[in-house]
Chain A
Amino acid sequence: MNAPVRDPSSIGERLSATGTANALEMRGVSKFFGALGAMQDINLTVRPGERHAVLGSNGAGKTTLFNCVTGDFPVSGGSIRFFGEDITQFPPHERIRRGLRRTYQISLLFTGLSVLDNVYLAATGVSRSRFSFFRPRRNDALMASAENLVRVVHLEDAKDAIVAELSYGQQRQLEIAMALAGAPRFILFDEPAAGLSPTERSELVEILLGLPGHMGFIIIEHDMDVALRVAERVTMMHNGRVFKEGNPAEIEDDEEVQALYLGGAHG
């Protein structure tokens, strides 16, 4: 429904998209800002439903990776396939309508609108009533799903509050609710735990672990406790390249990773 078939010849491709194809497949993706290689020759494969963590120091290219996947930045080279479909040249909104979602490291919310309105906008963005001239009715399905998402992230008490009045932690929760709107297939979480209190962190882990099994995600996270608890696979990035890949236990025990994280002099 949110992935309109444009060309009959691509139906085969789309059918395969729901079946065996990988959720995300990056082949040789690079991003240069002028001469600066923010991301070079990235190969990354995430299976449907897989929970994947991307670790790395500041400037390792993690957020650039997200921006290339969502289309916020055009890539300098390589290809990105989303459930089998080549989305490398798609504008952001087309990728989102195919079931991709993201949260932002620095919250990008509509601060003048209420919590519910923010989530409602997110739910409407991937629906057919984007251009509707009619206000939602009392039993509106999108509004109902928005209210439901507000409950999922424990914001029901603040649903009519203006976003600018929310605490930082609540704004982060709202970010997640907006990413969950409209049946996502795959979500990119950009440092969702940054700036949260320990209590809020465990709430976040609970929300992430509680996501439906088919909903894969990539999480960028500095907090190893959060990242390694929710992820099944971990990719370590360093200076714009993939440095290590493995399961959480392997990464945790890896000496090179420990050197980078504990004794790491690389900014």
Chain B
Amino acid sequence: MASTDDQSTERANAGESPTWVERIPAAYWALIVVLLIMPAIAGDFILYQIFGWTFILGMIALSLMFLAGYGGMVSLVQMTIASVAGYMTAIFGVSAIETISLGWPWYVTIPLALIVAMIFGTISGWLAVRTEGIYTIMITLAIAAAWFYFTNQNYTIFNGFSGFNGILPPQLFGVDWRGPVAFYYLTLFWATVAFLVVLYLSRAPFGLTLQGVRDNPRRMAALGYNVTAHRVAAYTFASLLAGVGGILLTWQSAQISPGTAGIGPVIDVLVIAVIGGLRHPIGPFIGAFIYVILKTFALDALVAVDLSGERFQLLIGIGFLVIVFWSPDGILGLWSKFRAARNKDPLLDRGGDAS
């Protein structure tokens, strides 16, 4: 399924001795600079709604990319884990539903929310790793559906259909973190951290092992690895990523309700990860950006051509079909095809960056 092109190029780079600063191509520096000065060029809506949401959804999809791309486990429970973290933030911390929320300070609430999300994700993983392929998808989808209906019907803890509102980030350092610029940097920071950690892990023993388990579980057992334990540990780590994404998502809209992790959003995470590409941790962020753009502007575009605005899902669906049909590796796959074609040597007929 997923290949290891990115690793071999990375290996090639690691062989030389330039510093890590020199090893990052100029185009990436340009992207970093653009992202950092974005608040100077973009309006509040773009910062908060487009980029903030992209980074958050990207992180949740990244947790799926880690499981599916490196571990070969397609989990539909990642949005649910994000929602668990969101709910815990509301229940332990401060929300407008004062009868339920405990009002504990953020430095207790946030770690607690992440721990609960990781426990939830670990148990889900423990149930799911005994199965493969379509059965993993079914089990995780069943857990996601169970969580949706449970939160929808439980009023004593989860406040039923309406969920919680008024969940705000702490006023740390005197900053209003829901201000567009502050929220942009907050989400950019955590998305970057998540991205770099996954990138680093892909070459650390934990990530290498996971890729080994994906390609050849029987051989891994014959090398002394406890395959089940590694798969479950991958879920635990992915839950941390999804949990951070879930807390930010809850702060962004200041509310959490069963619909946050309804069947639609749960599947959207898979769509985002596949559109972007499962081969490299940048894929989920590309996918999230496309998804957010479509979800935000497709409505206007459709209305402009006299179609009902609710049909934006149709556009996403068609986009998904086109991408999966033309490039099973998502946008990343298209990009590497394009690179290979551009670098092709007309005389030798060999791809330039074949590694």
Which residues in A have some Cβ–Cβ distance to B below 8 Å?
2, 70, 72, 91-93, 96-97, 102, 104, 108-114, 117, 120-122, 124-126, 129-136, 160, 162, 178, 181-182
Contact = CB atoms under 8 A, between A and B. Distances in A.
Nearest to A97: B224
A160 B11 CA distance: 9
A93 B228 CA distance: 11
A207 to B, nearest CB: 19
Interface string B216-251: 101111111111001001000000000000000000
Interface stretch (B88-96, B206-214, B339-347): B206-214
A135 B223 contact: no
Nearest to A136: B205
B2 to A, nearest CB: 8
Interface in B260-308: none
Contacts of B218: 72, 108
Interface residues of B, number: 30
Those 9 A-B pairs whose CB atoms lie nearest each other, nearest first? A125-B223, A125-B224, A96-B224, A92-B221, A126-B224, A108-B219, A112-B4, A132-B205, A135-B204
B216 A110 contact: yes
Contacts of A72: 218, 221-222
Contacts of A112: 3-4, 211, 215
Nearest to B215: A110
Contacts of B15: 160
B222 A70 contact: yes
B270 to A, nearest CB: 23
A125 B215 contact: no
Contact of B205 (A111, A124, A126, A178): A124
6 contacts: A108-B219, A110-B216, A122-B223, A124-B205, A131-B205, A135-B205
A96 B225 CA distance: 9
B5 to A, nearest CB: 9
A102 B205 CA distance: 22
Contact of A124 (B11, B203, B209): B209
B13 to A, nearest CB: 12
A162 to B, nearest CB: 6
Contacts of B200: 135
A125 B225 contact: yes
Contact of A178 (B11, B221, B223): B223
Contacts, number: 95
A112 B230 CA distance: 19
Nearest to A108: B219
A133 B201 contact: yes
A110 B222 contact: no
A93 B227 CA distance: 8
B295 to A, nearest CB: 34
Contacts of A111: 215
Contacts of B253: none
A136 B209 CA distance: 13
A129 B205 contact: yes
B69 to A, nearest CB: 12
B162 interface: no
A93 B221 contact: yes
Contacts of A134: 204-205
A182 B223 CA distance: 10
B215 A93 contact: no
A182 B204 contact: no
Contacts of A108: 216, 218-219, 222
A133 B204 contact: yes
A55 B3 CA distance: 39
B224 A93 contact: yes
Contact of B206 (A97, A102, A114, A131): A131
B8 interface: yes
B203 to A, nearest CB: 5
Contact of B224 (A104, A120, A132, A182): A182
A102 B222 contact: yes
B208 A117 contact: yes
A2 B216 contact: no
B125 to A, nearest CB: 15
Contacts of B230: 130-131
Contact of A114 (B8, B201, B223, B227): B8
Contacts of A121: 208-209, 212, 220, 223
Nearest to A161: B8
Contacts of A96: 221-224
A102 B219 CA distance: 10
A97 B226 CA distance: 10
Interface string B183-209: 000000000000000001101111011
B20 to A, nearest CB: 13
A131 B233 contact: yes
A97 B205 CA distance: 17
A132 B206 contact: yes
Contacts of A181: 223
A120 to B, nearest CB: 7
A91 B205 contact: no
A192 B224 CA distance: 21
B282 to A, nearest CB: 19
B73 to A, nearest CB: 17
